[in-house]
């Protein structure tokens, strides 16, 4: 039985071992219904919401605006969960990576990247990924399942706990931005991601605005419009190649949704304007996609789309079949793109010493033997067969 058949099928248990229900990840309506079921008044939901998502409470006993019997009733049946932290690694540059463990034992990673004027949390949407982009470490991971909404919000809450930011200040937050750029393809787990982001954006709680949230997709064309209409978050698209021939090979979802369809979906992304551009991510792979001709073709393809181009120097991982482009080549590429009028920052790799940079996330350890590499190739073949890509 292939790993893919597990994706989204085996949801983790919603209850703690003692049978109490974890309420992180419920939307307001679900929380209200649940409290009413417990015999409490509906308006309590709003109070509880404030304690959980604004104050960061993890214990009903601390909710001092609730009468003691109400707190007791809540604590009897409910919990306010957090992901378990299996590992907590800090890079020399301040980047921090957590390996989180869920109730069913599955693990995935979350990364915090502090910068001068902001702090960005790189959030995962799946354990592993069903896709197999050739340059991405997550793509080689066999085990895949969708994360529940509570597990996605839980990453933000755990990070807030760790950096001590409850309640969050209005300005100067250490966790001010969110990018759905961790493990997994967020648009293949849309319902849970959408539910989680609505909770994160809720003004009476974590309150991170849609303008500070970016969702990155490898190009799940049929879901892009909904994402723009329903969530209104910023979109980043993992382009990485300017011909179908190459993109078919390195971003295999291209075989399902080729460049022309992808770019059309970008052109019509709801809310797109010069003030709200799509970010096109382009990983710089030495001798593969980094020539001057590629840069010119990129500019031609994106004509008419309000766009930013984000050049990402390839981040290596053990056994990866590519090398990072030479710095001079990256500069030449960036110059050509800049000359065409695009802002094209080169993304500085962060947290490389702890394998926390883009595309390096993978929850099980990677051995380097030839046998392992062969096994990896087999996993990719199996995943692609299951996807019929
Ligand atoms: N699944 C989503 C989110 C992923 S990760 C997506 O593919 O868009 C964020 C970015 O890192 C993507 O653009 C991804 O293609 C890129 N990436 C993956 N592996 C990388 C690597 N080894 N080096 C640099 N960037 C990488
Ligand atoms: Fe999945 Fe994104 Fe990695 Fe591709 S780049 S394998 S879509 S996580």
Q: What is the 226 CA–ligand 2 centroid distance (Å)?
A: 20
Q: Which atom of ligand 2 is nearest to the CA of 218?
A: 7
Under 8 Å between Cβ of 175 and 119: yes
**Which residue has the CA at smallest separation from atom 8 of ligand 2?**
184
Question: Can you tell me which atom of ligand 1 is nearest the CA of 219?
Answer: 8
Ligand 2 centroid distance, CA of 266 (Å)? 19
Q: Locate the domains of the chain by residue range.
A: 21-79, 84-388
Whether the CB of 22 sits within 6 Å of ligand 1: no
CATH class of 84-388: alpha beta
Cβ(242) – ligand 1 distance below 6 Å: no
Q: What CATH architecture is 21-79?
A: Orthogonal Bundle (1.10)
Task: Read off the tokens for 206.
Answer: 């974590």
283 Cβ inside 6 Å of ligand 1: yes
Report how far ligand 1's centroid is from the alpha carbon of 127 (Å): 15
pLDDT value of position 372? 59
pLDDT of amino acid 246: 98
**Looking at the DSSP assignment, which residues form a beta bridge with residue 235?**
215
- pLDDT block averages, 10 residues each, the chain of length 389: 40 73 96 97 97 97 96 96 93 94 90 94 94 93 90 98 94 96 96 98 96 98 97 98 98 98 98 94 98 98 96 92 96 96 85 82 58 67 71
What pLDDT, on a 0 to 100 scale, did the predictor assign at position 12?
64
Q: Tell me, what's the pLDDT at 36?
A: 97
Count Cβ atoms below 10 Å from residue 123 Cβ, excluding itself: 30
The pLDDT, as a whole number, for residue 209 is 96
- Mutate which of 127, 218, 359 for ligand 1 pocket (most atoms within 8 A of beta carbon): 359
152 CA to centre of ligand 1 in angstroms = 18
Pocket test of ligand 1: the residue of 126, 178, 181 to mutate, having most ligand atoms within 8 Å of its CB, is 181
- Residue by residue, what is the 3-state secondary structure of the chain? CCHHHHCCCCCCCCECCCCCEECCCCCHHHHHHHHHHCCCCCCHHHHHHHHHHHCCCCCHHHCCCCCHHHHHHHHHHEECCCCEEEEEEECCCCCEEEEEECCCCCEEEEEEEECCCCEEEECCCEECCCCCCCCCCHHHCCCCEECCHHHHHHHHHHHHHHHCCCCCCCCCCCCCEEEECCCCCHHHCHHHHHHHHHHHHCCCCCCCCHHHEEEEECCCHHHHHHHHHHHCCEEEEECCCCCHHHHHHHCHHHHCCCHHHHHHHHHCCCCCCCCCCEEEEEEEECCCCCCHHHHHHHHHHCCCCCEEEEEEECCCCCCCCCCECCHHHHHHHHHHHHHCCCCCCECCCCCHHHCCCCCCCCCCCCCCCHHHHHHHHHHHHHHHHHHCC
Question: Which mutation among 311, 312, 366 tests ligand 1's pocket best, with the greatest number of atoms within 8 A of CB?
Answer: 312
Cα separation, 263 vs 261, in Å, equals 6
Q: What local confidence, expressed as pLDDT, does residue 367 receive? A: 40
Going by CA atoms, what residue is nearest to atom 1 of ligand 1? Answer: 185
d(CA 128, ligand 1 centre) in Å:
13
Is residue 312 within 6 Å of ligand 1 at its C-beta? yes
Q: Is 217 in the pocket of ligand 1 (CB under 6 A)?
A: yes
19 C-alpha vs ligand 1 centroid, how far in Å? 38
Catalytic residues: 109, 358
Tokens of 309: 């181009």
């Amino acid at each position: 039985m292939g790993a893919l058949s597990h994706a989204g099928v085996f949801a983790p248990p919603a209850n703690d071992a003692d049978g109490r229900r974890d309420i992180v990840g419920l939307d307001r309506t679900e929380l209200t219904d649940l409290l009413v079921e417990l015999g409490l008044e509906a308006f309590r939901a709003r109070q509880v919401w404030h304690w959980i998502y604004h104050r960061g409470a993890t214990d009903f006993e601390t909710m001092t605006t609730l009468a003691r019997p109400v707190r007791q009733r809540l604590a009897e049946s409910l919990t306010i969960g957090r992901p378990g932290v299996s590992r907590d690694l800090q890079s020399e540059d301040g980047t921090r990576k957590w390996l989180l463990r869920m109730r069913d034992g599955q693990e995935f990673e979350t990364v915090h990247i502090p910068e001068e004027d902001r702090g960005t949390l790189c959030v995962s949407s799946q354990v592993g990924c069903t896709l197999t982009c050739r340059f991405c470490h997550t793509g080689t991971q066999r085990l895949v399942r969708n994360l529940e909404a509570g597990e996605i919000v839980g990453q933000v809450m755990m990070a807030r706990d760790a950096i001590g930011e409850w309640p969050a200040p209005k300005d100067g937050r250490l966790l001010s931005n969110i990018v759905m750029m961790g493990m997994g393809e967020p648009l293949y787990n849309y319902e849970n991601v959408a539910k989680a982001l609505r909770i994160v954006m809720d003004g009476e709680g974590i309150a991170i605005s849609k303008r500070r949230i970016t969702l990155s997709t490898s190009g799940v064309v049929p879901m892009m419009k909904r994402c723009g209409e329903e969530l209104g978050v910023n979109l980043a698209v993992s382009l990485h190649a300017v011909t179908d021939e190459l993109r078919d090979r390195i971003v295999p979802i291209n075989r399902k949704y080729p460049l022309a369809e992808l770019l059309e979906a970008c052109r019509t992304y709801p809310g797109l304007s010069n003030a709200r551009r799509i970010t096109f991510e382009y990983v710089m792979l030495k001798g593969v996609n980094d020539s001057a001709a590629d840069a010119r073709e990129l500019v031609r393809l994106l004509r008419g789309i309000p766009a930013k181009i984000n050049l990402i120097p390839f981040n290596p991982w053990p056994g990866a079949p590519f090398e990072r482009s030479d710095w001079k080549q990256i500069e030449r590429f960036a110059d050509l793109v800049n000359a065409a009028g695009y802002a094209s920052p080169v993304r500085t790799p962060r947290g490389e010493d702890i394998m926390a940079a883009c595309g390096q996330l993978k929850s099980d350890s990677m051995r380097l033997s030839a046998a392992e590499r062969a096994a990896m190739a087999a996993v990719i073949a199996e995943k692609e067969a299951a996807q019929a890509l």
